[in-house]
Amino acid sequence: MTARIQVPRETKLGELVEIRIVIQHPMETGYRHDDVGHPIKRNVINALSCRYNGEEIFRADLSSGIAANPYLQFYTVARESGELEFSWIDDEGKEGLERQAVVVKS
């Protein structure tokens, strides 16, 4: 699973930080059938979470209504330098993990 993450390279203390993530995933809805009529099993990323130095700052429960290659955008306040950790899991149990450094200048 390829994922792309965008976080400003450097921020000031107390500033609002925009975080964007795109994950490559088919987000198979479970409502479709293959060429010979068999139903295709649902396989979507069902949970995604983002931790900022260990503390969860964002969590999303995704389902069939979300398009393939989901794109999420959210905000946090820059408190300290450290690491953002993104983790997610799909219906087949495949997990994804990405880390991104944050530099906060006072």
Partner 1 sequence: MRRGSAAACLLAAALAWSPAPAQERGIALEKLRSGSAFLGADLRALQADDFANPGMLWVERGEKLWSQPAGKNARSCASCHQDAEASMRGVAARYPKVDPASGKLLDLEGRINLCRAERMGAEALRRESEELLALSAYLARQSRGEPIRVEIGGAAQSHFESGRAFYYRRHGQLNLSCAHCHEQNWGKRLYAETITQGHPNAWPAYRMEWQTLGSLERRLRACLSGIRAEMLPYGASQYLDLELFLAWRAQGLPVEAPGVRR
Residues making contact with partner 1 (CB under 8 A): 2, 4, 6, 20, 22, 24, 26-27, 67-69, 71
Q: Minimum Å distance from CB 47 to partner 1? A: 21
Residue the block writes with tokens 């965008």: 6
Q: Looking at beta carbons only, is 20 or 105 nearer to partner 1? A: 20
Q: Minimum Å distance from CB 104 to partner 1? A: 21
Strands 3-6 and 16-23: antiparallel
Cα–Cα distance, 78 to 81 (Å, whole number): 8
Amino acid 20 reads: R
Q: Minimum Å distance from CB 71 to partner 1? A: 6
- The partner residues of 49 in beta bridges, in order of sequence, read 59, 87
